[in-house]
Chain A
């Protein structure tokens, strides 16, 4: 089982994340403005501008993983926010009002930079936070891409990146440094390359690494992308995985099945799920989610290339494209079945899954299920119901 063989790099990760949070807390004292950013947004620009990028989604995921998301969320709910909003947003807003901070205090933004390529929830959450903290807010808007991207969308995105650069220049009071951007993009390329090589190891049978491990190790690719730290971390992790391979240490020792998972993990249930799958000799090998960070930037055309990478991620693709992307992963990782998570917090990834399940099964012949729950809030998760859904699923795996 994944958790029974702790990774050596886990310690490194802990240190790295502690450093990240410390930087966040100290940024303002050092005269570095704190920019709230979204997970799938061109943070490369933010690093290049010399701002400190803070990820409130990470805060939400951390609260969820520590099983206190519902508690922090309540602080927002008593202020009138609704329990049907994204759980991350409820945590982020809740912590601003809360008296207690079980996972530390969310860092106040000096400015907010949101890309809605993932969802409109972030657009609203950041707008709300902008009002709450009275901080300037920039929305990098990503129109949904149908089939293929168009010149129109690319031009719009590039124009907005230029507007964003202006926005950052106002915040920092200094001109944007494109040489610095090239360095950051280079480092981001390197980290993304390593990260994806690591993810690909899950295609081996048996594999040393799976989706639940990826969920654990993904924090740096989100937060430290564009820095040396991320490159160093994934180099270490890759070395460790190669070492494990030579020692025949596998994620699921008696791996029989590979599973595709869509999309986010159920953070407070990471262990629960990884045990559930392991009991059946199944490795959750891949998810679109962890593959979101697979950027490759062209240093000769930085803005265009940022535009392409961030507007064309799966979460900004239409129904048919998303099906095709999932099927491609299933082929590449030789998947035996798939589980689609109807995540109450996340309408953009959940809506459409009922039909997609059927279509994917029809096209691939693979068994698949949709299960209901919430990525962070255990009030919307029933162990028993989910276990029963999966019982049927495991019976279908052959």
Chain B
């Protein structure tokens, strides 16, 4: 049983980072000062920030109490992710940032960048102006150019140039992180009793809040212990629970994963920005690093923000459900998230047509009823096959 405790202890480290997201980065910063550059989730080439010598930092841990702070600048019918991030900035919660990179993935991110720059600028304010179509040749050449632009901006801000080898090293470091997190994810799928939904999602989210060097140490230690345990234990009773796929943007409020854990659901696949999408694919390590970063971005799993006629999200989700053995799909949507809201009805219908049960759970950062979410998820789990949860 001591080992079991160790897993929980190791996982608790991630929880701590998320609960006090500024502590660790500020500690690291005090030890080895370098600018901290924030980014909105998550289609941002963090490797470039890292290679420039700055600390990348994801604005992914939300304090709902600050949502309304944004009201004087941003309509209340903007999504709560934008309102909360910006509200926290206005409340001074990110004053330790030297910069911020906003990826243009929807109209809200496209517009908030100007407001933010006007109202609460940091020294380095940049947009990452992504191509919004990803499967035509033009997208690739443009994205390589845009990455080059961002690289040049970072170089001039940091007062140094980024050598290809440095960028390669950052890429390797990030690949290692992604590879290990994917491994952890697979462990979670097989042994949710050891690594819960919350554990694995906390591990992924915390990777955006501290330097990858540190995160890699933590994840590899966890993996080692988990591996040991899976060897020691008979796995017959392991794969309990109802397998589900979760689709959406971010898993907010975090309690959602606890609710899923408590109701016997096991997230076996997802496309969340702060979930599997963040770790899904690696960057090629040989060849031109900017081209490799571009390909990485273009080959991320389909998202509602990018048009991908080569691999439509409709088919992608249905395939993903089948491949992962999920028995149902949970749409986890933020209110007013336009990109998801356009996709939802036809995705829902496509799933039903393929006989895949699904449910939509809507949340709003800073304004959620845990009770309601809990009831909805529990009911869905029971519908999918409660007997397995509580059975032998």
The number of chain A residues touching the other chain, given as a range, is 35 or more
Identify which of residues 31-84 in chain A touch chain B, using a CB-to-CB cut-off of 8 Å: 79-82, 84
Interface stretch (choices B188-196, B215-223, B341-349): B341-349
Q: Does A169 contact B (CB under 8 A)?
A: no
Q: Chain B binding site: helix, strand, loop or mixed by DSSP?
A: helix
Q: Does B392 contact A (CB under 8 A)?
A: no
A159 contacts which of B115, B138, B341, B348 (Cβ < 8 Å)?
B138
Interface size on B, residues (CB 8 A): 51
Q: Are B344 and A80 in contact (CB under 8 A)?
A: yes
Q: Does A141 contact B (CB under 8 A)?
A: yes
A127 contacts which of B104, B127, B307, B335 (Cβ < 8 Å)?
B307
On chain B, the residues within 8 Å of A270 by CB distance are none
From known contacts A82-B341, A159-B141, infer whether A355 and B107 are also in contact, taking CB-CB under 8 Å: no
Identify which of residues 131-155 in chain B touch chain A, using a CB-to-CB cut-off of 8 Å: 131-133, 136-139, 141-142, 145-146, 149
Nearest residue (CB) in A for B333 is: A82
Q: Does A383 contact B (CB under 8 A)?
A: no
Interface stretch (choices A114-122, A190-198, A258-266, A278-286): A114-122
Q: Does B114 contact A (CB under 8 A)?
A: yes
Q: Determine the distance from Cα of A131 to Cα of B348 in the docked complex, in whole angstroms.
A: 13
Interface stretch (choices A204-212, A289-297, A342-350): A342-350
Interface string of A348-389 (1 = CB under 8 A from B): 101110110001000000000000000000000000000000
Q: Are A163 and B149 in contact (CB under 8 A)?
A: no
Nearest residue (CB) in B for A127 is: B307
On chain B, the residues within 8 Å of A127 by CB distance are 307, 342
A342 contacts which of B73, B75, B139 (Cβ < 8 Å)?
B75
B341 contacts which of A81, A146, A160 (Cβ < 8 Å)?
A81
On chain B, the residues within 8 Å of A243 by CB distance are none
From known contacts A84-B336, A132-B346, infer whether A143 and B142 are also in contact, taking CB-CB under 8 Å: yes
11 extra interchain contacts, Cβ-Cβ under 8 A, other than A128-B343, A156-B138, A354-B73? A79-B345, A84-B338, A120-B110, A136-B309, A143-B131, A319-B111, A319-B115, A347-B338, A351-B78, A351-B107, A352-B114
Can you name 14 A-B residue pairings with CB atoms under 8 Å? A84-B336, A84-B341, A119-B107, A120-B107, A124-B343, A132-B346, A139-B132, A143-B129, A152-B149, A160-B138, A342-B75, A352-B115, A354-B74, A355-B115
Q: Give B residues with C-beta under 8 Å from A.
A: 72-75, 77-78, 104, 106-108, 110-115, 117-119, 127, 129-133, 136-139, 141-142, 145-146, 149, 304-305, 307, 309, 312, 314, 335-336, 338-339, 341-346, 348
Q: Give A residues with C-beta under 8 Å from B.
A: 79-82, 84-85, 89, 116, 119-121, 123-125, 127-128, 131-132, 136-137, 139, 141, 143-144, 146, 150, 152-153, 155-156, 159-160, 163, 318-320, 342, 344, 347-348, 350-352, 354-355, 359
